[in-house]
Amino acid sequence: MDSMTVPSLSPSTGCQLSVDEMKLLAKLEEQNRLLETDSKSLYPMNGVLQSPTSPKPFSFEDDIWGNVIKEWDDWRKRKVGQIKVLIRRGIPAHLRPTLWQLLCDAQNVAVQQKYSDLLNCSSPSETLILRDLTRILPQHQLFHNKVATCQKPLFNVLKAYSILDREIGYCQGSVFIVGLLLTQMAEEEAFYIFVRLMKDFRMRDLYRSNMVELGCCIHQFEAMIKDELPELHSHFQTQGFHTSMFSSSWFLNILLSSLPFTAAIRIFDIFMCEGLEIVFRVGLALLHMKQAELIKLDVEGMMNCLENLESWASDPDGIIEAAYQIKYNPSRMKQLRQEYASIKTKKLEEQEELNGLSSENKHLKQRLALLEKRCSEKLVSQLKKELEKTRLNTVRSQSALKEMQANILQMEESRAASNEDSVMYLQTELISHRLQEAEALTELRVLKQHIKDLEEKWQRQQVNCGGQQRVSSAQNELQVELLSTRLKETLTQAALKESRHRLMKLQTENNIYSNQLKQIEAHINSQQDHLQELTSQNQDLCSQLQQSRRQFSTVQYKRKEKQDKEGANLSIIAVLQKQITELQIQIQSLSKHTTSFSQPTPKPSTSTSLKHNDT
């Protein structure tokens, strides 16, 4: 209980007992040893599993336990230490149901609905409870030979609590606790004790879905192992064997699933009085006893060793004695709880920060996807425009290239034809004029020679002729011939000058045509250079066109991949939405069959002085 925590007392400590009480304790121990030898005595007079051959219970007025029960209010206020000593030594089996109810104050449990009313309701955990009962009951020694008688009451109690406390509902570890309660009492009494255990013995916190309390217990237990058994703790660390792998079930079902029945019920007696402290003590004692064996094993071997604890079935007193030799420091446990709380707070802050970063990352991814989509569309359109532009430029360049090649070919043909005709004509004219000049020169030399001959003849005539008349007539003839010859010479010289003038004109034309020919050749060379330049530009444009096509194909491939991913994501979203719709329909159908539960304010417990030493 929250208000029922007591300071820890070892068996050697506590209040001093009187001589009569010591005699009664000795007598009680003897009777308990006799009872432990008879397995049938474990069942109570009023329990559903009561054996018809159970021995007659001891008289409450003849032993100290009878005095404890009769004067419970006095004992729980003034003799808490003695109650602890008595419970650690063992509770008589036929008194166990009564003592358990007194220890947890089950008579004053306040619930909103009666147990019978809860059984008439339906629970969403019914299928899960039946599945666990079918799997656990036949395999565990706690329910050996009692499956038929245990299953129905056990199902009823677990179902009733799952309806009563819908926040916690059903937890698998509660099967063993309720099962143990049903071996000692009727199911309704077991239900109310279980309600008190859940509410006031930290069990409800252990069963929460966030597992904060369970994590705190495991953190404390691991620190105790590190302090008390450093060598074993080092072996655990080396093997990667975390304490939670075996200790979580110890806390969730108070060691009931691991220890034999005779030892488990004794541990549970102490738990009802002192709380979870006994789980820490017994757990550490078990590890201390098994330390030498565990250090030699691997992970699988250690799990098997810690799950099979049947060797302690005959010595529950040895386990309890070893447990109370363990050092248990409440201050240290409180410090470890604060340490775990700070660690958990830090983890929660980190988790919140991580969630914030994850949401921000998700938002950024969405924005990035949107931007990539926009950029890809823009890039595709831009590439399309560039591709069209490049194609147009290529077509224009090719047409210009073809036109230039045709012009060059035509110019070469026309140049060849015109040059050949002009050169041939000039050469023919030049040769003919040179022949004419040569003929004129030859004729001029002949005329000059003829004139010279006439002059000589004229001189000879003057010398040889004697008569005047004869001289005169011959002179006249010679003069006439000389004049005609000179006239011919003059005409020949004029023709020669004309021929030379024509020759000079032809040479000038030849030079002009030569210059024009050179200019045409230079123009052809420049056109060829331009042609080469256009060819290189055409090659560059072709390479750019190929590169643009490759880029366009790459963008199209990426866009197709993105569309495929978006299609897959849309299909996954559709499946998830369908599942969500189905779950919502199931929740609505379940909500129609369930009623809301509101926890009432519990009445103050009358057993406030008996407190449990829980940290």
CB of 190 within 8 A of CB of 182?
yes
List Cβ neighbours of 77 (8 Å cut-off, separation of 6 or more). Answer: 609
**The pLDDT of residue 496:** 81
598: pLDDT strictly greater than 60: no
CA dist., res. 151 & res. 582, Å (int): 32
CA dist., res. 234 & res. 228, Å (int): 12
- In this structure, the number of other CB atoms found within 10 A of the CB of residue 524 comes to 14
**The pLDDT of residue 93:** 87
CA neighbor of 231 nearest in space, from 170, 296, 301, 184? 296
Residue with tokens 């230039």: 404
Tell me the backbone φ, ψ of residue 10, rounded to 5 degrees.
Answer: -80, 165
Tell me the backbone φ, ψ of residue 145, rounded to 5 degrees.
Answer: 65, 15
**The pLDDT of residue 354:** 84
Q: Which CATH number is 90-209's, of 3.90.1300.10, 1.10.8.270, 2.60.120.10, 3.40.50.970? A: 1.10.8.270
DSSP string, 84-133: HHHHHH---GGGHHHHHHHHHTGGG---SS-HHHHHTS--TTHHHHHHHH
Res. 191 pLDDT band, cuts 50 70 90? very high
101: pLDDT strictly greater than 60: yes
Please state the separation of Cα 541 from the chain's center in Å: 45
**The pLDDT of residue 194:** 92
Q: Between 37 and 109, name the one with better pLDDT.
A: 109
37: pLDDT strictly greater than 50: no
Choice among 16-25, 42-51, 77-86, 571-580 with the minimum mean pLDDT: 42-51
CA dist., res. 320 & res. 494, Å (int): 161
Q: What is the mean pLDDT of residues 85-111?
A: 87
Note the residue count of the chain.
615
Res. 226 pLDDT band, cuts 50 70 90? very high
Residue with tokens 């020679």: 449
Q: Between 499 and 20, name the one with better pLDDT.
A: 499
CA dist., res. 53 & res. 43, Å (int): 10
Q: What is the average pLDDT value for the chain, to the nearest integer?
A: 77
Q: What is the mean pLDDT of residues 554-566?
A: 81
List Cβ neighbours of 240 (8 Å cut-off, separation of 6 or more). Answer: 299
Q: Between 495 and 290, name the one with better pLDDT.
A: 290
Report in angstroms the alpha-carbon separations of 162 from 111, 118, 195.
13, 9, 11
**The pLDDT of residue 149:** 67
Angle between the N-to-C axes of helices 230-239 and 212-228, in degrees from 0 to 180, rounded to the nearest 10: 120
CB of 262 within 8 A of CB of 312?
no
List Cβ neighbours of 243 (8 Å cut-off, separation of 6 or more). Answer: 218, 221, 222, 225, 236
**The pLDDT of residue 141:** 57
| Residue ranges with strand state E in 438-547 | none
> What are 403-444's pLDDT values in tens digits?
877 877 887 777 666 666 766 777 787 788 778 778 878 887
> What are 306-353's pLDDT values in tens digits?
877 776 556 788 889 999 999 889 999 999 999 999 998 888 888 888
CA neighbor of 195 nearest in space, from 141, 143, 157, 243? 157
Half-sphere exposure in the Cβ direction for 146 (13 Å, CA): 18
> What are 464-483's pLDDT values in tens digits?
765 555 556 666 777 777 77
Q: What is the mean pLDDT of residues 489-507?
A: 79
What the block records as the tokens of 473 is 């007539």
> What are 537-549's pLDDT values in tens digits?
888 888 888 887 8
CA neighbor of 87 nearest in space, from 108, 105, 65? 65
**The pLDDT of residue 39:** 35
**The pLDDT of residue 18:** 56
> What are 62-71's pLDDT values in tens digits?
368 888 888 8
Angle between the N-to-C axes of helices 19-37 and 80-89, in degrees from 0 to 180, rounded to the nearest 10: 30
CB of 430 within 8 A of CB of 506?
yes
Amino acid identity of 334?
K
Choice among 136-150, 357-371, 490-504 with the minimum mean pLDDT: 136-150
> What are 369-404's pLDDT values in tens digits?
888 777 777 777 777 787 788 778 878 878 877 887
Q: Between 295 and 35, name the one with better pLDDT.
A: 295
Amino acid identity of 525?
N
What the block records as the tokens of 588 is 């609505």
Residue with tokens 């217990």: 217
Res. 225 pLDDT band, cuts 50 70 90? very high
Which phi-psi region, left, alpha or beta, contains residue 467 (left: φ > 0; alpha: ψ -120 to 50)? Answer: beta
**The pLDDT of residue 280:** 94
Q: What is the mean pLDDT of residues 83-94?
A: 88
**The pLDDT of residue 574:** 78
- In this structure, the number of other CB atoms found within 10 A of the CB of residue 293 comes to 11
CB of 292 within 8 A of CB of 102?
no
> Would you kindly state where each structural domain of the chain is located, as residue ranges?
90-209
CA dist., res. 149 & res. 49, Å (int): 8
Amino acid identity of 206?
L
CA dist., res. 276 & res. 287, Å (int): 17
Q: Between 139 and 535, name the one with better pLDDT.
A: 535
| pTM (2 d.p.) | 0.53
Q: What is the mean pLDDT of residues 583-599?
A: 57
**The pLDDT of residue 29:** 59
Report in angstroms the alpha-carbon separations of 51 from 184, 282, 403.
11, 30, 119
Choice among 124-138, 411-425, 477-491 with the minimum mean pLDDT: 411-425
What the block records as the tokens of 65 is 């336990």
